[in-house]
Amino acid sequence: MPAALIRRLLGRVPDPIDDDTWRHVQLRVRWIAALDDARAQRLRGLATLFLQRKTITPIEPLRLDAIRRATLAALCSLPLLEFGEEGLHGWSQLIVYPDAFRVNRTHVDAAGVLHEWDDELIGEAWDSGPLILSWADVESDLDDPHAGFCVAVHEMAHKLDSLDGLLDGTPPLPRDWQRAWARDFQQAFDAFVADVDAGRDVLIDPYAAEAPEEFFAVCSEYHFSDPATLRNAFPAVAAHLQRFYGPVP
């Protein structure tokens, strides 16, 4: 019987994050360094599951050592501290580009004309497919943790959002909460779109006006990296995210 199978049958799957690796993760990620002990332990458990269940594939010439892999797993698990490991369901691959990457887009317009163009992305979450990140942008998020950006959290928010089969800015929640969430997010989104369309100054990244699901994902980034601005701009949304993700680290 293979050793890995025996260990699994005995319930002793080796921990892919040793103490030394975890210390490096805590040193590198300020949002993780700031967690209390109980939440830090929970995060380490989630990151361990992440590494056991997801295949992390770096694209040449990027190399990912154990510390970088654990850092990615911990970052992607940060939005799951309250939601739990169900947030990892439905997909199996994390693909990591060295830098921003190009994707080819096509669209057939109302007149039946095919439009084709290239988009440059720093992250993407395919419906039940891979989660894709740019390592350079993950690093710049970590270098400047209060700037309002965290691409890993953004893409994980899309993954949580689509768990109920609909990418619409509302993750699966208990019914009453889901109703209040949908109402408060819609109100904030409508007001935000009106401000952006009118060219007024806005407090958060205008990309959030693209769609309700982008609004949720962008606000999720602010929850971790600039919560004061989020509370200022959209107090009701900030309160929902505080309940959904837990207290700001």
Signed CA dihedral, 240, 133, 131, 53: sign only? negative
Residue 51 contacts Zn ion per CB under 5 A? no
CA distance 142 to 163: 27
Applying CB under 5 A, what is the total number of residues that bind Zn ion?
2
Residue 106 DSSP SS3? strand
* C-alpha distances out from residue 243 to 30, 131, 198, Å: 21, 25, 32
Q: C-beta of 196: minimal distance to Zn ion in Å? A: 16
Q: C-beta of 213: minimal distance to Zn ion in Å? A: 7
Q: C-beta of 58: minimal distance to Zn ion in Å? A: 22
Q: C-beta of 243: minimal distance to Zn ion in Å? A: 22
Strands 55-58 and 93-97: parallel
Tokens coding 198: 């009118």
Of 22-30, 110-118, 197-205, 215-223, which segment contacts Zn ion by CB under 5 A?
215-223
In the chain, the amino acid numbered 62 is L
Residue 217 contacts Zn ion per CB under 5 A? yes
Of 25-33, 94-102, 164-172, 214-222, which segment contacts Zn ion by CB under 5 A?
214-222
Q: Which is nearer to Zn ion, 74 or 152 (CB)?
A: 152
Contact 167, 212 (CB under 8 A): no
Q: Which is nearer to Zn ion, 48 or 162 (CB)?
A: 162
Residue 11 DSSP SS3? coil
Q: Which is nearer to Zn ion, 22 or 185 (CB)?
A: 185
Q: Beta-carbon neighbour count of residue 144 at 10 Å?
A: 12
* C-alpha distances out from residue 66 to 17, 35, 71, 72, 80, Å: 8, 22, 8, 10, 21
Q: C-beta of 216: minimal distance to Zn ion in Å? A: 9
Of 2-10, 84-92, 103-111, 210-218, which segment contacts Zn ion by CB under 5 A?
210-218
Find, among 63, 32, 67, the residue nearest to 51 by Cα: 67
Q: C-beta of 238: minimal distance to Zn ion in Å? A: 19
Q: Which is nearer to Zn ion, 137 or 214 (CB)?
A: 214
Measured at CB, which residue is nearest to Zn ion? 217
Of 93-101, 110-118, 217-225, 235-243, which segment contacts Zn ion by CB under 5 A?
217-225
Region at 166 (left for phi over 0; alpha for psi -120 to 50; beta for the rest): beta
Q: C-beta of 214: minimal distance to Zn ion in Å? A: 5
> Residue numbers of the site for Zn ion (CB under 5 A)?
214, 217
